[in-house]
Structure 1
C-alpha cells in the first residue's frame, strides 16, 4: 500500500468522523466547515498524485508526500490561530458580563439600602 492510498483512506475516514460528530451535535457546524474543508483538500491532494507532484516540483520538494505533512501542519497553525481568536472573543465577553453583573448587584444593594 502506497503513502497515497493510505492518505486517501485516512482522509475518507476523517471526513466520515467529522460528519458523524456534526450529526451527533458534538461538533458545531461553524467549526466543522474548517475540518471538512481540510479533509476534502487532503482527499483531493492524496487522490490526485499528479497534482501533488506538480506542487512538489514547483516548491522544489524532493519527496512529494512530505507536502501532505506540510499541508497538515499549516492547517494546524491556521486552526490554532482561529481558536485563539475565538477564545479571546469569549474571554472579552465573560469579562464584560462579569462587570455588568457586578454593576447590577451594586445597584440592587443601593435600592435595598434606600428602601
Structure 2
C-alpha cells in the first residue's frame, strides 16, 4: 500500500484524539464517556504507522483477509460503546423518574402549605368580625 495512506490515517487518528481531548476540556464530553473514544483514537494512532500489527493479529486468529479482522474489531468496539451508552441512559432514566416523583411530592407539599396559609387569615378575619359584633352588642 501507499505510505501516504498510512500517514493520512495516522493524522486522522491524531485529529480524532485531539478533538476528543478538546471536547473533554470544554466540558462537552465527560471523562467517563470519553475513555472509549480515547482508546479508539489511540488504537488508530498505533495501527496506522504499523499495519503489520493487523497482519500478525489476523494470522494469529487464522483470518485470511486482515482488513476483515479490523472490521470485526471495529464492530465489537461499537457494540461495547452502545452497551456503555445504554447503561448510562438506563441510569439517567431512573434518576429522572426519581427526581420527577420528588418534585411532585414537593409541589404537593407547597400547595398544602399555601392552603393552610390562606386559611389562617380567614380565621383571624372571622374572629375579628365576631369580636366587632360582640363589641357592638356590648354598647
Question: TM-score, with normalisation over the residues of structure 2?
Answer: 0.69
Residue 27 of structure 1: aligned partner: 29
| Aligned-pair Cα RMSD in Å | 2.2
Matched residue pairs, number?
A: 115
Structure 1, gaps ≥5 residues long? none
Shift of 1:80: 0.8
Task: Choose the corresponding residue for 1:48, options 42, 47, 50.
Answer: 50
Larger radius of gyration, structure 1 or 2? 2
CA distance in 1, matches of 2:19, 2:107: 46
Q: CA deviation at 1:45?
A: 2.9
> Equivalences for 1:3-14 in 2 at 5 Å?
5=6, 6-14=8-16
Aligned 8 A contact 1:42 1:68 in 2: no
Find out whether 1:39 has 2:6 as its counterpart.
Answer: no
In 2, Cα distance between the equivalents of 1:44 and 1:80? Answer: 23
Provide the residue aligned with 1:96 in structure 2.
Answer: 98
Conserved in 2, the CA contact under 8 Å of 1:11 and 1:43? Answer: yes
Q: Distance in 1 between matches of 2:10 and 2:43?
A: 11
TM-score of the two chains, using structure 1 as the length reference: 0.81
Please, which moves more after superposition, 29-38 or 83-92? 29-38
Q: Mind listing any 5+ residue stretches in structure 2 that lack a counterpart?
A: 118-139
Take 2:52 and 2:85, find their aligned partners in 1: how far apart are those partners? 33
Change (3 A) 1:46 1:71: farther
How far residue 84 of structure 1 moved from its aligned partner, in angstroms, is 0.7
The answer as to 2:74 corresponding to 1:72 is yes
3-state SS of 2:64 partner: coil
